[in-house]
Structure 1
């Protein structure tokens, strides 16, 4: 449990970031890429991004041994060029302290370029800048217009909430299960402790590549930042991409997408197999995977097994309320882990994540 302590001045200085932060959005995208959960929805996106990241981005992994990142990677500038340059504005003593903090628990010397960064070497700073730029261009540039549109909608929604119900109501609605009592905002998070704002204020930064707990950053100067998940819970697709059904096919695979469409009404396993042109065993395996993600429910009725999509599954296909028409026989889509070996043949170091 994280407890964020507000003074009266802090409440007056709570604000929502008016624009997305490119490097913080990159941090959350890389965090999601490294998470072991949500495989059904994110596995293909993760493997695609791992394969696509260029060698120029690999130095980022050297800064995050064991998943701990130095705070100077938490950058909230809305302009990418300013964001890429901002880490160098940190005081050298703080940069050295952060590098030592994240590398101290790990035996052996840090990579040579990180040691150079510790000394303040200009070439090392340029290497870090190129790594961040390369990762952004690969991971986020194709979907950045989508991020901007989602951010604008979220900003407008939160502005209306504050106007209608006040700041306190907006804060508690922002993080489900959180509680605001006597100037202390209690937020469920792995980090246990207290954050005293002491008049600095708090900036609320939505992110659209993270579905986990809120992330807190404390830059050495200025307000604290709380990054919270505000996205649709699916990997973002570029503007102008195929419709919702095709986007789901990219995430889930076509067979599982088609099963979700069919299960607006109950179907037996054999009924699904007939409609999809696959074997009973294949239909059962795909239904089990969807059930494990909470998208499908299954009940037994005598000797039959009946499947139906859940409310969560319905949300994912909300533009398609009717069952899909009969579909021609087709080859079953590969299992999401089918090309995992190819990804492993190009191993990448674990990319960075905010602390």
Structure 2
């Protein structure tokens, strides 16, 4: 069973690579791993720890029963659980999920359950009943806090290493080089990307919309995408086995402290001091001090642009966060006035 994704020249120009782990795709796909297991070594440590934590936590059994109803171990799950824009923090993603319009909830939950009778709470959730929506939010929050947040560094390291490998291919071969370099469950047969797929054979014509490629720690075996072909196209695929870094002997949070570890992770993208403070949940003054300490350690560089100070990771900082040396980027380092091309 395969998915054939048809590209035009315009689609190649609009092919994008998602920057960070997508909070909701990782959550949904981790539920698949938890329910069905995974043959991949990288999941075994997480799987043992998750089962142990869930086995001893109050409410965990009820939360899992609810979540596994929405996300069964095989088959479709509602597209609205994985918002198109996965760049915000987990709580913002939850807001997007819970603000899904009622007609769309009805349609997508109807696709999941088909002719079989859905539990009463699912019908209430589809109707927008506040109690059911609150139960879904709480179950998602508790699951995330219990079994995903403790492994955030490892998940981010793997996804960032995969992204850097694809950026290297993009730099040397353009969009087609990127597509040709994707892991073995996908193959580039110009102008079509052919991917092993869990559903029936399917053709997806991008029609000039382009596609967002989302590397995922928990995806394994076969890539997945939205059920609804009219949604902005995405392809969620497993990180390549050749780029998965070994588990660090010392976790980043232990090395620099949890707040500075979060600051480093946020600075994988260039951010102003105020944006950094907002994303980490600290004051602007505290964000500035953390950036200064990390800058003195050679992990962060900062430049002033008019009234704004912009911060980003140095090559050493990328290595500390990802466990891999940075890919050469055509954008280069930060300089006053913004990003400038690397010297050839």
Q: Give the TM bin, normalised by the shorter chain.
A: 0.5 to 0.7
Instruction: Show CA shifts across 1:24-70 (max 9, x none).
Output: 11122221222255288756753542342324632212223563311
Structure 2 residue 191 is matched with structure 1 residue 183: yes
Within 5 Å, give how 1:89-108 maps onto structure 2.
89-106=99-116
Stretch deviating more after TM superposition (47-56 or 205-214)? 47-56
Instruction: Show CA shifts across 1:233-292 (max 9, x none).
Output: 999968736xxxxxxxxxxxxxxxxxxxxxxxxxxxxxxxxxxxxxxxxxxxxxxxxxxx
Residue 207 of structure 2: aligned partner: 198
State the secondary structure of the residue aligned to 2:215. strand
Residue 227 of structure 1: aligned partner: 236
Segments of 5+ residues of structure 1 without an aligned counterpart are: 242-355
Question: Deviation at 1:150?
Answer: 2.9
Residue 137 of structure 2: aligned partner: 129
Query: Using the alignment, how far apart are the partners of 2:224 and 2:78 within structure 1?
Result: 14
Query: Using the alignment, how far apart are the partners of 1:236 and 1:94 within structure 2?
Result: 41
Residue 49 of structure 1: aligned partner: 50
Query: Using the alignment, how far apart are the partners of 2:231 and 2:248 within structure 1?
Result: 34
State the secondary structure of the residue aligned to 2:118. coil
Structure 2 residue 94 is matched with structure 1 residue 84: yes
Determine if contact 1:208/1:232 at 8 Å carries over to the other structure: no
RMSD of the alignment, in Å? 3.0
Stretch deviating more after TM superposition (209-218 or 32-41)? 32-41
Instruction: State the TM-score, normalized to the length of structure 2.
Output: 0.61
Determine if contact 1:202/1:226 at 8 Å carries over to the other structure: yes
Query: Using the alignment, how far apart are the partners of 2:159 and 2:185 within structure 1?
Result: 23
Query: Using the alignment, how far apart are the partners of 1:164 and 1:213 within structure 2?
Result: 26
Residue 74 of structure 1: aligned partner: 82
State the secondary structure of the residue aligned to 1:187. strand
Determine if contact 1:218/1:224 at 8 Å carries over to the other structure: no
Within 5 Å, give how 1:1-40 maps onto structure 2.
1-36=2-37, 38=39
Segments of 5+ residues of structure 2 without an aligned counterpart are: 55-59, 252-344
Residue 261 of structure 1: aligned partner: none
Residue 115 of structure 1: aligned partner: 123
- How many residues are treated as equivalent by the alignment? 240
Question: Deviation at 1:230?
Answer: 0.9
Residue 317 of structure 1: aligned partner: none
